[in-house]
Amino acid sequence: MQFYTTMLAVKHVVKKYGNFTVVNDVSFHVGKGEIVSIVGPSGAGKSTLLHIVGALDKPDSGSVEIRGTDLHTLPSRKQSAFRNKNLGFVFQFHHLLPEFSAVENVCMPLWIAGMNKTLAAKEAAAMLDIVGLSARLNNKPSELSGGEQQRVAIARALVSRPAIVLADEPTGNLDSANAHSVHELFLRLRKELDQTFVMITHNDALAQMTDRILTMRDGQLANDQLTNNN
């Protein structure tokens, strides 16, 4: 499988905390519609790198370009608006608002962007249908299974049709069957929406389902490997 349009370009990113270098001169590119997994032992710098890519943290040096825009050179307000439009986030813990229904949780990025409530609800319902939850629109998180809650979180990440979805251990809190189902969902969404994903996982079998595996050790990119899916 070939990916021609560069969606993400990470160039020589360095991040230090005191005298400790957490991310050490990391560079890589991700193409449109590509699913890339980042693996490595705990403390390798994976989550810090993903947070820098998502502008949740700042690098000490280097750059992160999304669709050709250097994210970390944008003023704070423009950076927030750019992030809301171009990036979706999925975490190990779904971070759904317990008092809101599934469709209201998915509406949140659209409301933040200023979309009116009627159109936002329509877009959110359509995305929940895509992830297989059309019958659960009005259920609150407490009424959903763990796998269903994570699907709501994925729908929320996708509803703005972002350039890239960043996922930090998206299946880490799920049993093996639900974890496999979520990864199958990512593959289907890539096919249907040409969606780009960058995700951290500790599950080697699930990493093998992606297009490329980036291995981090001691803050550095130790290996960039194509899988058999290419």
Contact 217, 41 (CB under 8 A): yes
pLDDT at 229: 67
pLDDT at 114: 87
Using alpha carbons, select from 9, 70, 27, 63 the residue that is nearest to residue 219. 27
Using alpha carbons, select from 15, 88, 87 the residue that is nearest to residue 49. 15
6-226: CATH number: 3.40.50.300
What string of pLDDT tens digits covers the 230 residues of the chain?
A: 556 588 899 999 999 998 899 999 999 999 998 999 999 888 888 989 999 999 889 999 999 999 888 988 989 889 888 888 889 888 766 778 999 999 999 999 889 888 999 999 999 999 898 888 899 999 999 999 888 888 898 889 888 888 899 988 877 776 777 777 777 888 888 888 888 999 988 878 778 888 999 999 999 988 777 777 65
Nearest-10 Cα torsion for 75, 76, 80, 82: 10
Indicate the pTM of the whole model: 0.84
Contact 218, 44 (CB under 8 A): yes
161 φψ region: left (φ > 0), alpha (ψ -120 to 50), beta (else): left
Backbone angles phi, psi at 37, to 5 degrees: -105, 145
pLDDT at 13: 95
Report CA-CA distances (Å) from 4 to 8, 33, 69, 100, 159: 12, 9, 17, 40, 24
pLDDT at 148: 87
Backbone angles phi, psi at 227, to 5 degrees: -95, 180
Report CA-CA distances (Å) from 144 to 99, 101, 140, 152, 153: 13, 10, 7, 9, 12
CA angle (55, 193, 127) in 5-degree steps: 80
